[in-house]
Structure formats: C-alpha cells, structure tokens
Amino acid sequence: MNKPYNILHSIDWFLIVSVALISLAGILNLYSCVAYSMGRDLYLTQIYWFVFGTVMAVVFATVDYRTFEKYAYFLYGVGIVLLFAVLLFGKEINGSKRWLELGGFNFQPSELMKVFLLMAIGKYISSQPSRENGFFIDVVVIGILTLLPTILVIKQPDLGTALIFLICFFAILFLYRFKISFIITTIVILFLMFPVFWAFFLKGYQRQRILSFLDPGSDTLGAGWHAMQSQVAIGSGRIFGKGFLGSTQNMHGFLPAHATDFPFSIWCEEQGFIGSMLVLFFYFMFIILSIRVASNARDRFSLIVAFGIANVFFWQAFFNIGMVSGVLPIVGITLPFFSYGGSSIFVALISVGMLLNFYMRRERSQEMKGV
C-alpha cells in the first residue's frame, strides 16, 4: 500500500534556507550600498522584485515541470523575440542597450533567456533516443540553440551573459557524454578564433579592461580603477570588517557600480574575512544542493535544466567574485541574490522554483532513460 503523498516532506528545505540566507545578506548589503548615494529607491525596488520573484518561484515550483517541457520551444522563441526587441527598441544605459521598459520598470530579457535556453536544450535532448555517444547533428542543434541568443546578447553588448551561455553549452556537452576529444577540438577551434572575436566583437572598453587586468598598473585611473578600488575595499575589511554601513569606499564614492557589479566588495569591507567566508559557504551549499537536485532527476529534461541552472549560479558567482578580487578581468557579471537588478533577482528566484519543482517530483516522475 502506497503512503499518502506529503508535499511538506518533499520540499528541499535546505535549498530554501540557503537561498533565504544569501538573499537576506544581499538585501542588507544593498541597503548599505545605496545609503550614501542613491537613497532608498534601489533598495525598495529590489525588495519589490524579490517579493514578486518569490511569488513566481512558488508558481514555477507547483506547476508540473512537464508543462514547461511541453512549451519549451515556444518559450525559447519568445526569448529570442525579446532579444531582437531589445536591439530595436531597448533602453540604452551607460552605452549598453540591454533593457526593455515595461510599465516604468526596466526588464532585461537576457536574464530570462538563461532559463528558456536551458529548457529548449533539455527539451531537445529529452526527445532524442538514448545513446552512448552524441552524434554530430546533436552538437549542431544544441550549438545553434546556444549561438543565436549569444550573438544577440553580444550585440547589446553584454559579454558576461554571452559567456554564461557558452559555458553552459560546454557543461551540457560534458553531461551529454560527448567524446572528450571532440570537446577539446571545439575548445581549441574557439581559442584560435579569439583574435577574430577580439577584433570584431569586443568593444574598445572591453578590450581595455582585459589589457588592464593583464597589466594592472597600466591604467589605474581609467579601465583599472574599478578593479583597484575593489581590491582596496576587500583588503581594508581585514578579519572582522568595519561594520554595517562602515564602508569608506562606498561612503566616499571611490568604487563605481558598487550596487550592481561590486556589491561583494562592499560586503567584504564591512563584514571582513569572517563574513565573506560565511556568504561563500552559503553559496557553496546552494550549488551543492542544486547539483543534488540534478543527480536525483528522474528524466532527462529535469536533469539538463537542473544541471544547467546549477552551472549558471556557479559560474556567475565564480566570475563575479573572481573579478572583484582581481583574479579575473571585469566582464560585467552580476552576483546572484546580491547584485541590484530586478531581472536578475526575479530570474534567480524562478530558477530556484524550478529546482524545487524537480526535487518534489523526483519520486513521482517517469524513470530516467539515460542521457
């Protein structure tokens, strides 16, 4: 006799707690970031988006995920149309056209495209017969699905999001059991194409950021200013930090984009090494729990999407923390749940909703047929 299904026992509460703790730290840190400059507006806007995103996360968690699989190609098409709309009608801010203005709010379709792309790839892979090795046609199809939004995002320009798309593509190739020799060959070809990418796709300021990373002292008052001031903020926090609202880099306006690209620098200065390690621990737990959802998936669609979401969160955190600490060049990748941005927090929360959806239905969905 089967036991009655208890939805409370099926929820991954550890995942929810880890997200809640990171988000709470992020909102408190954002308040500190805007306290000396832009006032309460950004802080309150972030809370509104967090509440809206939480509501949508509940929706994405409760609707059977096979509904999203059914409409995956349609959602992907909607995402592509929105990216085209950005290029045609988008709002330009600081030289980048990445946003659509909707009812007084700026929405960034490239954030939503992260989830839609993973759904489309998951839909395609789940519709294919089980194979020991992937076939060339699969690489072409998955590559086209990835390349189209990547090109549209680069045109905005948004190098960071484009990089996340490409990394997820290669991560899924590894998961999909393609031969290592094929993946290495692909990476080598892309590496050889880098001079073309450097000359025709990167903007001047993006090239200068990379050059200033390779030679930090070459332009400390220009392209290297952000990285230098970020490292000053992190180092000045020492072990226990300067305390809440105590960031001098923020107080005196030395660190630009502190609410979007560099919020972790402010956190490090105010909370010190101990507080920084605590947040990194929560991120680590969240990524591990996300991978656990993927490992418990009972069909290929949920496996691909959950694994892809885990990769998105991991690489965004990896690149953002790497660039603010000076070990990676600045590419404009936000830190999930920490950086200001309604689109970012909204999509992050519906991604969490998807993970909860997969976890709740891991025992009730059809048996995995293999990837």
Q: What digits encode the pLDDT tens for the residues 91-113?
A: 877 667 888 887 777 889 999 99
Give yes or no for residue 256 having a pLDDT over 60: yes
Flag whether pLDDT at 38 surpasses 90: no
One-letter amino acid at 242 equals K
Structure confidence by residue, pLDDT tens digits, 232-254? 888 888 899 898 888 888 877 77
pLDDT of residue 1: 45
Please tell me which residue, 64 or 130, carries the higher pLDDT value.
64
- Calpha distance 119→269 (Å, rounded): 39
H-assigned helices in the chain: 7-10, 13-34, 41-62, 65-70, 72-89, 109-127, 136-154, 159-175, 180-192, 194-200, 204-214, 225-237, 248-251, 263-295, 300-324, 342-360
Answer whether residue 209 shows pLDDT above 80. no
The domain spans of the chain are 10-360
Give the residue with greater pLDDT, 362 vs 339: 339
pTM equals 0.87
Is the pLDDT at 154 greater than 60? The verdict is yes
Does 40 have pLDDT greater than 70? no
For the cut 50, the answer to whether the pLDDT of residue 180 exceeds it is: yes
In this prediction, residue 219 has a pLDDT band, given cuts at 50, 70 and 90, of low
What average pLDDT does this structure show over 201-218?
58
Poorest-confidence range of 49-53, 91-95, 310-314?
Answer: 91-95
Tens digits of residue pLDDT in 181-202: 666 776 777 677 767 665 656 6
Average pLDDT in the chain: 83
> How far is 176 from 18, CA to CA, in rounded Å?
29
Split at pLDDT 50, 70, 90, the class of 365 is very low
**Rounded average pLDDT over 135-147:** 85
Confidence bin at 231 (pLDDT 50/70/90): confident
Amino acid sitting at position 162: A
Greater pLDDT, 221 or 94: 94
CB–CB of 120/146 below 8 Å? no
184 burial (CB, 10 Å; 0-12 / 13-18 / 19+) is exposed
Task: Report the pLDDT value the prediction gives residue 229, as an integer from 0 to 100.
Answer: 84
Rg of the Cα trace of the chain?
Answer: 21
